[in-house]
């Protein structure tokens, strides 16, 4: 099995991968992305929304759950604020400022779960090979045989909307995707001579994976994390929209889009404002992930990685 | 570093002939079909046990405060909760295989009568979206690749990046705002139908849900076809064709496009897979009477039988589509079809 990889070692991509630095690799990968125009745009968009979400609650103003003016008042109405009022007459501006941080924290937590678990499974399977690899990856296939959202809905219907379940369900639903991508990426690394060599020296698998395999997987791992984050945001916002995420009267961008739909003609901001911040956040994180892929893997491969991971499934 | 012997870096790995492995198509079918059946079986087990074991007792959860011992017992018997988990599953799976899907818990109708009309509506929606997004994506992708880095390519690439990142329900509300309630009022904002009608009786109610899904799915097709066409146009054989004086049209449609077929098929497959889940949110935005909306309703009302039926149905669709897509990709990529 090492015969083919020794040829690969001489190809330009091969050298590039091996040379991936051991420390500060994460910073370097991010910096490379930030130097591109795409990366700058993505990071700026995401940071704007993060600022709204986390600094918003500090902005003085009306309470997001208190009555401000008659329901669906337009922005001009006294007491209605800059963005008017929502279905129950609460300030849309206050609800937008306070409705993001929970969503983003939940998305971060599920991303951590998805990427951590997925990478662990994928890399371990690629390193161990043989029967266990087959078993693990076929297990991944089975979970992937249910559409993500349906999988999450199933879990949510059973236990009901709880925040920890949301994190667990969204994380578990996405872990198989990460496992697939990381498995594919780790396979070529595990075949390399230096990995084989340290394994022969008798280093325990845990150490080989941590010291020699993972450092060479920084880029795919970062791309995965970025993509999973943007999908977690979409999934969690979608669940809130369906009424299975954050529960009213707490402000939440997904909930707001749902509850203010009836007033789209009287005060469109009730729907448009949360929809716009969600859109900017999703586009920002996704664009940044794309920039990470392109800056570190090359344009074409970046394109493929993003698409493959986006709709999930690599070619054999 | 010593000079490496003979083999140049790009030297092909020698082809091993006669290794006795089956033809890739047969191997794919022999492997994937049983695996697919196994996947569906596992999904059905997962669904059954999740809806049965975890909530403590589904019957009391459904009946809530109105539960009387008699009604509880009746519902338990109906759900098979009086049996052990394993025999309950076997019973349910046996009935499922023989085409008996039970009764909806929320209105007592048979599950088929409840779900099938919605399934038809959803299928119409999915097929319309798949056909249009393929046509649109292929044309735009080829055009963008031909005029690479031109205005159309730049605009198309930015738009596709934005559109593919947006959450589908956000696209949905923007579409409603622009075309139904806000800027223009050309189409109905909701797609609610009278119970005895199908979606083709009122096709104007199909437009906005389809448009929403089209916006979300076309970018993948566009990007993949664009990338594949660019790769083909940069290849040696395209150069030869160019030198032999092939017209740009001939070059694009006879030399480059055939190479984009495999990725296009793959992306249509992926888009269909995506749609199996994506319809849930979009149907909810428009109250479109499809299985996505039915699924959300079943989750809200804890209608276990409907829930189980739809999840298993979606899994069957998902798994078979996966196999069919891989098969078509294999058949349209000669390089991979040759036995290795």
Kindly report, residue by residue over A186-213, the tens digit of the pLDDT: 777 777 778 777 777 777 777 777 777 7
A-contacting residues of B 23-52, CB under 8 Å? 35-36, 38-40, 42-43, 46-47, 50-51
pLDDT of B46 reads 81
Q: Does A125 touch chain B (CB under 8 A)?
A: no
Q: How confident is the model at residue A111 (pLDDT cuts 50, 70, 90)?
A: very high
More confident: A286 or A192: A286
In this prediction the ipTM stands at 0.77
Nearest by CB to A141, from B39, B167, B307: name it.
B39
First-to-last C-alpha distance (Å) of chain B? 34
C-alpha distances in Å from residue B322, one per residue of A96, B28, B29, B138: 40, 11, 12, 21
More confident: A192 or A41: A41
Nearest by CB to A237, from B167, B284, B298: name it.
B167
Residue A55 CB neighbours (<10 A): 11
Homologous superfamily (CATH) of B117-301 is MetI-like (1.10.3720.10)
pLDDT of A112 reads 94
pLDDT of B4 reads 41
Q: Does A162 touch chain B (CB under 8 A)?
A: no
Assess contact for A245 and A59: CB atoms under 8 A.
no
A-contacting residues of B 128-187, CB under 8 Å? 161-162, 164-170, 173-174, 176-177, 181-182
- For residues A128-143, give the mean pLDDT: 79
First-to-last C-alpha distance (Å) of chain A? 18
B-chain CB neighbours of A304 within 8 Å are 227
C-alpha distances in Å from residue A161, one per residue of A68, A153, A275, B155, B167: 28, 10, 22, 41, 20
CA distance B7 to chain A (A): 8
Assess contact for A238 and B281: CB atoms under 8 A.
yes
Nearest by CB to A147, from B13, B266, B314: name it.
B314
Q: Distance between CA atoms of B319 and A145, rounded to whole angstroms? A: 6
Nearest by CB to A271, from B173, B318, B336: name it.
B173
pLDDT of B5 reads 43
- Among the residue ranges A177-186, A271-280, B80-89, B210-219, the one predicted with the least confidence is B80-89
**Cα dihedral sign for B312, B318, B324, B326?**
negative
Q: Distance between CA atoms of A92 and A69, rounded to whole angstroms? A: 11
pLDDT of A115 reads 92
What is the average pLDDT value for chain A, to the nearest integer?
78
Q: Does A158 touch chain B (CB under 8 A)?
A: yes
Q: Distance between CA atoms of A224 and A290, rounded to whole angstroms? A: 10
Q: How many CB pairs under 8 A join A and B?
A: 161
Residue B88 has pLDDT above 80, yes or no: no
Q: How confident is the model at residue A113 (pLDDT cuts 50, 70, 90)?
A: very high
pLDDT of A106 reads 92
Q: Which helix (H) or strand (E) holds B280?
A: helix B257-286
CA distance A234 to chain B (A): 5
Q: Does B306 touch chain A (CB under 8 A)?
A: no
Q: Does B267 touch chain A (CB under 8 A)?
A: yes
Are B299 and A244 inside 8 Å of each other by CB? yes
Q: Does A305 touch chain B (CB under 8 A)?
A: no
CA distance A95 to chain B (A): 17
Q: Distance between CA atoms of B262 and B332, rounded to whole angstroms? A: 6
- Among the residue ranges A34-48, A205-219, A233-247, the one predicted with the least confidence is A205-219
Instruction: Enter the tokens of residue B141.
Output: 């992708």
CA nearest to A278, candidates A255, A306, A247: A255
Residue B329 has pLDDT above 80, yes or no: no
> pTM for this structure?
0.80
pLDDT of B285 reads 87
- Among the residue ranges A42-51, A137-146, A161-170, the one predicted with the least confidence is A137-146
Q: How confident is the model at residue A281 (pLDDT cuts 50, 70, 90)?
A: very high
Mutate to test the interface with B, among A10, A12, A147 (most CBs of B within 10 A): A147
Residue B335 CB neighbours (<10 A): 7
CA nearest to B123, candidates B329, B322, B314: B314
Query: What are the residue ranges spanned by the domains of chain B?
Result: 24-97, 117-301
pLDDT of B53 reads 60
Residue A315 has pLDDT above 90, yes or no: no
Query: pLDDT over 90 for what percent of chain B?
Result: 2
Q: Distance between CA atoms of A124 and B305, rounded to whole angstroms? A: 38
The class of domain A6-315 in CATH terms is mainly alpha
Are A147 and B174 inside 8 Å of each other by CB? no
CA distance A277 to chain B (A): 10
- Among the residue ranges A170-184, A186-200, B269-283, the one predicted with the least confidence is A186-200
B-chain CB neighbours of A148 within 8 Å are 277
Q: Does A261 touch chain B (CB under 8 A)?
A: yes
- What string of DSSP letters covers B179-245? HTSSS---S-S-----TT--GGGSTHHHHHHHHHHHHHHHHHHHHHHHHHHHHHHTSHHHHHHHHTT
Nearest residue on chain A to B316, alpha-carbon basis: A145
- Residue A85 φ/ψ, nearest 5 degrees: -120, 165
């Amino acid at each position: 099995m090492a015969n083919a990889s020794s040829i690969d070692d001489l190809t330009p991509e091969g050298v590039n991968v091996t040379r991936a630095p051991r420390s500060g690799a994460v910073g370097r990968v991010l910096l490379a992305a930030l130097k591109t125009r795409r990366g700058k745009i993505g990071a700026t968009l995401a940071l704007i929304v993060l600022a709204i979400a986390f600094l918003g609650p500090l902005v003085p103003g009306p309470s997001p759950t208190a009555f401000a003016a008659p329901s669906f008042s337009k922005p001009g109405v006294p007491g209605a604020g800059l963005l008017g009022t929502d279905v129950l007459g609460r300030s849309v501006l206050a609800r937008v400022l306070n409705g993001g941080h929970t969503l983003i924290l939940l998305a971060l937590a599920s991303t951590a779960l998805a990427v951590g678990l997925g990478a662990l499974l994928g890399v371990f399977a690629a390193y161990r090979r043989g029967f266990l690899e087959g078993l693990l990856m076929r297990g991944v296939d089975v979970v992937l045989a249910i559409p993500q959202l349906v999988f999450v809905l199933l879990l949510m219907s059973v236990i009901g909307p709880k925040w920890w379940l949301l994190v667990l369900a969204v994380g578990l639903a996405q872990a198989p995707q990460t496992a697939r991508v990381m498995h594919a990426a780790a396979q070529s690394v595990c075949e390399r001579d230096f990995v084989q060599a340290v394994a022969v020296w008798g280093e325990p698998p845990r150490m080989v994976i941590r010291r020699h395999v993972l450092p060479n997987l920084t880029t795919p791992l970062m791309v995965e994390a970025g993509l999973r984050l943007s999908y977690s945001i979409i999934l969690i916002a979608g669940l809130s929209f369906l009424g299975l995420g954050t529960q009213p009267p707490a402000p939440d961008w997904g909930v707001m889009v749902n509850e203010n739909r009836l007033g789209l003609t009287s005060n469109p901001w009730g729907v448009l404002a949360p929809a716009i911040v969600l859109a900017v956040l999703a586009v920002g994180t996704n664009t940044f992930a794309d920039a990470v892929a392109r800056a570190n893997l090359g344009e074409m491969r970046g394109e493929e990685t993003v698409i493959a991971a986006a709709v999930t499934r690599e070619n054999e | 570093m010593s000079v490496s012997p003979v083999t140049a870096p790009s030297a092909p790995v020698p082809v091993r002939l006669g290794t006795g492995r089956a033809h890739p198509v047969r191997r794919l079918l022999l492997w994937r079909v049983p695996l697919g059946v196994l996947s569906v079986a596992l999904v059905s087990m997962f669904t059954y046990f999740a809806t049965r074991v975890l909530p403590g007792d589904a019957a009391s959860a459904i009946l809530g405060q109105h539960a009387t011992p008699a009604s509880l017992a009746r519902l338990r018997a109906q759900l098979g909760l009086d049996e052990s988990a394993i025999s309950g599953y076997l019973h349910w799976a046996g009935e499922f295989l023989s085409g008996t899907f039970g009764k909806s818990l929320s209105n007592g109708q048979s599950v088929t009568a409840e779900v099938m009309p919605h399934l038809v509506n959803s299928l119409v929606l999915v097929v319309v979206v798949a056909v249009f997004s393929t046509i649109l994506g292929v044309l735009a992708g080829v055009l963008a690749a031909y005029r690479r880095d031109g205005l159309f390519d730049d605009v198309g690439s930015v738009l596709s990046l934005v559109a593919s990142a947006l959450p589908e329900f956000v696209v949905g509300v923007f579409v409603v705002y622009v075309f139904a309630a806000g800027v223009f009022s050309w189409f109905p904002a909701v797609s609610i139908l009278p119970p005895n009608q199908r979606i083709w009786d009122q096709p104007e109610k199909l437009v906005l849900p389809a448009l929403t899904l089209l916006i979300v799915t076309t970018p993948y097709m566009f990007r993949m076809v664009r990338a594949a066409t660019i790769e083909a146009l940069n290849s040696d054989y395209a150069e030869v064709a160019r030198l032999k004086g092939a017209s740009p049209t001939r070059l694009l449609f006879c030399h480059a496009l055939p190479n984009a077929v495999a990725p296009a098929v793959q992306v249509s497959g992926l888009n269909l897979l995506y749609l199996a889940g994506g319809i849930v949110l979009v149907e909810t935005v428009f109250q479109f009477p499809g299985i996505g909306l039915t699924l959300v309703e079943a989750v809200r009302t804890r209608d276990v039988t409907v829930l189980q039926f739809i999840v298993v149905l979606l899994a069957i669709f998902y798994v078979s589509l996966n196999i069919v897509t891989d098969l078509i990709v294999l058949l349209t990529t000669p390089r991979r079809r040759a036995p290795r």
